[in-house]
Amino acid sequence: MQIFLWAQLVLLSIVFGDCPFLKLLWFLSYLGVRCQEKVHQESLKISQDGEDSTISCQYETTLFRSLHWYRQYLGESPTYLFQLVSKKLSKEPNLSAELDKKNRTSQLHISSIQIRDSATYFCALEAQ
């Protein structure tokens, strides 16, 4: 077994040269480590002024750590809104988010939508 692993390391050095990141990726795939995290969101949500709106996010993971919500105004960088580890959180007067770990979903609630709320909202999963 040691000769086999040594031969694999020599082959890695030849194929990937001095790139430790590629070597690490190969080694993890060799051990059977696979990325199983996925996030699904609605592609478009249109609301009228003054309405309440909810944006849903479904996720798949084997090792949940937290879920993050971001807002990105047109032509700007994304800004961080929430980190959810459990249940519900509120930030601004009209923004709140909740997490349902059992059903692997999260909702971002925007109450009394105004034109200033026009943006792209997205969730991101942090796994262990």
H or E segment and range at residue 8: helix 2-16
Q: Structural domain of residue 23, as residue ranges? A: 2-31
Which tokens belong to 73? 């105004």
Q: Residues 94, 115: one domain?
A: yes
Q: Residues 55, 112: one domain?
A: yes
Chain segment 22-77, per-residue pLDDT in tens: 444 444 444 444 456 777 777 667 788 889 999 999 998 888 889 999 999 999 99
Chain segment 82-109, per-residue pLDDT in tens: 899 988 777 778 899 999 989 999 999 9
Q: Residues 27, 46: one domain?
A: no
Q: What is the pTM of this model?
A: 0.67
Q: Would you tell me how many other CB atoms lie within 10 Å of the CB of residue 98?
A: 17
Distance CA 7, CA 16 (A): 14
Count of the separate structural domains present in the chain: 2
